Structure 1
Amino acid sequence: MNNPFSKTSLVRDIVNELPKSSDVFKKYRIDFCCGGNIPLNEAASERAVNIDELMAQLEEIYVAGENAKEDIEVWTNSKSDVIIEHIKKHYHRTLEEELASLSPYVTKIAKVHGERHPELIQVHALFYELKKELLEHTAKEEATVFPMLLKLDEPNVENREEIIQHIIELEKEHDHAGAILKELREITSDFEPPLDACGTYRLVFSRLEGLEGHTFMHVHLENNILFPRYLEA
């Protein structure tokens, strides 16, 4: 799997290609916004960062993104317990990390640019509504619904209808999250930042679009692969 960047790639171009790389740059205090027009190796040298370690972390982000694209084919014929562990590790944990990392950026652009771009106030409100919804949803799945779901694989389950109702409720919550994401896309003009947008502004829009794609894959894996096994039984 070939990376779309190298040690001589510009920092800003890497962030454009891999929005989550901004967290790595932030950790090392590498300026990816106003000072991002320099090669990666030069930026690393200025901050006394080991370039090989930096490349390895960027590689990990890239590979994680590429692997997510293959989920549908890989998991269609997998056992339910395997799919559930995959969802928890690759979607729930990743989602928690991304929501936590993205939150301060969303707040920052709303405060700094909200007066000239009032749609950012709406973005802020919708993002935090989505964050609350998704975190409560995933916590409920792990604590209650997933363990109950696996019981349906056992014979003579007495509360089958109750478990089915939980699945239906989860699907309704998926629909609500999808509606929020749709509204976010609409008010951001398909996550297209204005001409005067700064680097952080552009970063937020790019990562919101990535969050949308990640959530859609997550929901697809549950709604179209995992849940139908039980709803159609």
Structure 2
Amino acid sequence: MSYLEQSLGQLARRIPGATGLFDAHQLDFCCAGNRSLRTATQSLGIDPQPLEEALQALEQRATPEPAQDWSSASDAQLITHLLVRYHAVHREQLPELIRLARRVEQVHGDREDCPNGLADHLEAMAQELDSHMRKEELVLFPMITQGRGGMANMPIAAMRAEHDDHGSELRRLDALTQGITPPRDACTTWRALYTGLRSFRDDLIQHIHTENNILFERFAPAQVL
């Protein structure tokens, strides 16, 4: 089925990042989520083609990648992959997740199953993750691409420690959201939020794995306990 024939609510629930796209074009995916993309764009006089292309790109990004042996990639290729597939994507994901979490808390905050505190937790995660990625981008990755990876033991140890912190933050996220499982009667916004959270969690786990177990192992092998 083409994107045009699917409802805004269906697309928002299924495709991580679709909510931000709809919000930017003033397409109401929550209260008017039963309208098809075709009907919604026609009512506002919007050309649907750019939206279809953007939705396709978002869905392709959310589709599991074919297994690739990154251990055989060069240092430069692996770092480019990390920057494009994870660093840039996390910076897109988190602002929209924070916005959706605040909306859910504002509307449903009196419910016992509402993830109160989630928006603040995501905001703290965003700040810490951005700081972490900047350290890699400004210090560690240039060291590696300039052939000085053998001198990077201390930066790598610091990044591994921060990865442990990210793991703790993901466990807190899991606790706040009952395992990122929405209530059976959750609204479209709530479901879209949790779709995005699952995508972010899976991306961050794979991001950390690629750095810890592939890139960093080339220069500072972890001690086996």
By the TM > 0.5 criterion, same fold?
Answer: yes
Contact kept, 8 Å, 1:110 with 1:120, in 2: the verdict is: yes
Q: Distance in 1 between matches of 2:189 and 2:22?
A: 13
Alignment-derived partner of residue 36 in structure 1: 33
Query: 1:61-72 to 2 correspondence within 5 Å?
Result: 61-66=58-63, 69-70=65-66
Query: 1:158-169 to 2 correspondence within 5 Å?
Result: 160=151, 163-169=152-158
Deviations 1:38-82 (A, max 9, x none): 22211221121112222111111112223x623x51523111111
Secondary structure class of the residue paired with 1:7? helix
Identity %: 27
Q: Distance in 1 between matches of 2:8 and 2:106?
A: 26
Q: Distance in 2 between matches of 1:168 and 1:122?
A: 31
Aligned-residue offset at 1:138: 0.4
Aligned-residue offset at 1:207: 1.2
Alignment-derived partner of residue 218 in structure 2: 229
Contact kept, 8 Å, 1:5 with 1:14, in 2: the verdict is: no
Aligned-residue offset at 1:5: 4.7
Give the alignment partner of residue 202 of structure 1, picking from 191, 208, 212. Answer: 191
Alignment-derived partner of residue 52 in structure 2: 55
Q: When the two structures are aligned, how many residues end up with a matched partner?
A: 222
Contact kept, 8 Å, 2:105 with 2:115, in 1: the verdict is: yes
Larger deviation, residues 166-175 vs 97-106: 97-106
Secondary structure class of the residue paired with 1:73? coil
Secondary structure class of the residue paired with 1:76? helix
Change in 2 beyond 3 A, CA 1:193/1:169 = same
Secondary structure class of the residue paired with 2:3? coil
Q: CA RMSD in A?
A: 2.2
Change in 2 beyond 3 A, CA 1:41/1:144 = same
Alignment-derived partner of residue 121 in structure 2: 126
Alignment-derived partner of residue 21 in structure 2: 24
Secondary structure class of the residue paired with 1:115? coil
Structure 2 unpaired stretches of 5+: none
Deviations 1:150-184 (A, max 9, x none): 34457xx6xx2xx2121121111111111111221
Give the alignment partner of residue 190 of structure 1, picking from 172, 175, 179. Answer: 179
Larger deviation, residues 109-118 vs 31-40: 109-118
Q: Distance in 2 between matches of 1:212 and 1:42?
A: 33
Structure 1 unpaired stretches of 5+: none
User: Which amino acid in the other structure matches residue 35 of structure 1?
Assistant: A
Contact kept, 8 Å, 1:11 with 1:40, in 2: the verdict is: yes
Contact kept, 8 Å, 2:108 with 2:114, in 1: the verdict is: no
Q: Distance in 1 between matches of 2:50 and 2:146?
A: 44
Change in 2 beyond 3 A, CA 1:74/1:45 = farther
Contact kept, 8 Å, 2:18 with 2:55, in 1: the verdict is: yes
Q: Distance in 1 between matches of 2:218 and 2:70?
A: 13
Q: Is 1:114 aligned with 2:109?
A: yes
Change in 2 beyond 3 A, CA 1:231/1:5 = farther
Query: Normalising by structure 2, what TM-score?
Result: 0.88
Deviations 1:129-160 (A, max 9, x none): 21121011001111111112334457xx6xx2
Q: Distance in 1 between matches of 2:194 and 2:62?
A: 17
Secondary structure class of the residue paired with 2:180? coil
Deviations 1:100-124 (A, max 9, x none): 2222222222233223347523323
